[in-house]
Every structure is written in C-alpha cells, then in structure tokens.
Amino acid sequence: MKKIKEIIGKTIITNKKTIIAVIITMVLTITIGVKAATMYASRDVIYDNSSSGTTASTVQEALDELYEKADNGGGSTGMCIAVNGTISYSLGTAYGCRVGDGTIRTFYVLEDNGDSVSLIMNENIGDLVLWNSSGNNEEEPVTALAYLESQTSSWTVDVSLPAGQQIADAVGNTSWTSGGDDISLSSAPWLYDNLDGDDSTNSYGYWTSTPHSSDSYTAWRVRYDGSLSNNFVDDLIIGVRPVITVSKSQLSQW
C-alpha cells in the first residue's frame, strides 16, 4: 500500500492479568485516528474515534474503512493486512484478513511454510461440535471437519483444523508427540485467545486434527486454561477454530 499517513492507533490487549500496550502508527491520505482496546480471552471491544469524524464504531469497522480508503486511494492490499502495520512472519503476529465472506477477521501467524504462512483465527467459529460421533479416533475428525467446512463455505481460501504439532511447535515444544502428555501454552496466549471456559458460548476450547496415539477414545484440543490436552472425541463441549494458508504475497502492511 502507498502513501498511508497520519493515522495513529493505540491497541491495548488485556489478557486478564497482563496488559500489553501496542502503539500502532499508520499512514493514510485521510486521518481516521484509531484508539482501540481489545481484551484477550474476551470479545469485548472499545473503539474511540472521537477525533476522526468517521462513522466507524468498532475495530472491525475501522479495518473495513482502512481497506476502503487504501483501495480508493489507488493503493493495493493483499488478503491480509498486518495489524501492527508491518509485515512479519513471526509466530503470533496479528493480521486482519478478508477471507471472502464480507468480514475482516483477525488471524495470528501459526506457522511459516516458506512461501506461505498458516494463520489461525482469534476465536472459534459456529457452535460446539464433536470431533467425530463414533467415539473412536480411528475414524479421523470427520464431524469437526464437515462442520468447519459448512461454516467457511463462502471463504475463498483453503481452511483446515490446526494440527497438534503446529500448536506445540508454536510454543517451541518440537519434541511433543501425539502419544505424550499435556503441555502448557502459556508462552503464547494468542493460541487461546477468546477462550474462558464457558462451553455454553463455545469458548471452552477448540479441536486440533490430531488423535491421541495412545488412547483411541480421545483427540487433542486447545483448552481455555492455556493447555494442549486430550478430550473424548464424542464430548460436545469443544468448538472449531479455522486455520488458513496464505501466500506471503497476499500479506500487506500499512
């Protein structure tokens, strides 16, 4: 994108006990003055645009406006735009992505694949779903995958469940195996963003695609307490969280 000037955004991300202040300086031909506060492990959003004179009332709308102004101004954007203003392939880097359903959704870099990156969404999509209905993990996550496909049918990008090894690698645990023990994800809180333990609101956890190799009745899931742990495959308390794979040429900065 070109000639992006005069936007100063301040995002404060709160993970219950930890407050991370991120100062975002954006460049656009028109000032929209963004100050946003979002909460990890929460869907609450506060957006202050009092100095901008724009109509945007949420961070979602601010990102929509950013894309619109850049496009109208002759700039170009890829599928995903870096939230902090600079393209990075570091794990946990946040992007706002246009996936084809008319909504800009937040994703985090989960894996660097060379010419592409895998990005995981910041919240579950849809409702609770079984990994599969057979009670046995030998049949793969057919139920969860079918549900994920139904929830993302309008998206114009390949979608999958995260693999257990991707999650483990994201916290530097490259020796993790699918037949091993639970592990902590506390060093990467973005992996359990918007999870709070309430299964009635689909925020207890999300499935990976990986069965437990030492227990034929369970599969691996990310839990609200920041752990990669196993769960019975036919237990209806877990949701799904999309992973997309995007060419690095589709990543843009402000």
pLDDT of 151: 98
Residue type present at position 103: T
Q: Is the Cβ–Cβ distance between 188 and 198 less than 8 Å?
A: no
pLDDT in tens, 19-53: 233 323 332 222 223 333 333 333 333 344 454 44
pLDDT of 20: 30
pLDDT of 132: 97
Q: Is the Cβ–Cβ distance between 84 and 96 less than 8 Å?
A: no
pLDDT of 69: 55
- Chain-centroid distance of CA 5 in Å reads 27
CA distance readout (Å), 243 to 10, 57, 155, 207, 228: 27, 28, 12, 11, 16
pLDDT < 70 positions in the chain: 1-77
Q: Which two tokens stand for residue 137?
A: 């993990």
- The residue with tokens 């950013």 is 66
The closest alpha carbon to 10, from 28, 36, 38, belongs to 36
pLDDT of 251: 95
- Domain residue spans of the chain: 1-74, 124-244
- Chain-centroid distance of CA 118 in Å reads 10
- 40: number of CA atoms within 13 Å, CB side? 23
Instruction: Quote the pTM value.
Output: 0.75
H helix or E strand, kind and range, residue 147: helix 142-151
pLDDT in tens, 152-191: 999 999 999 999 999 999 999 999 999 999 999 999 999 9
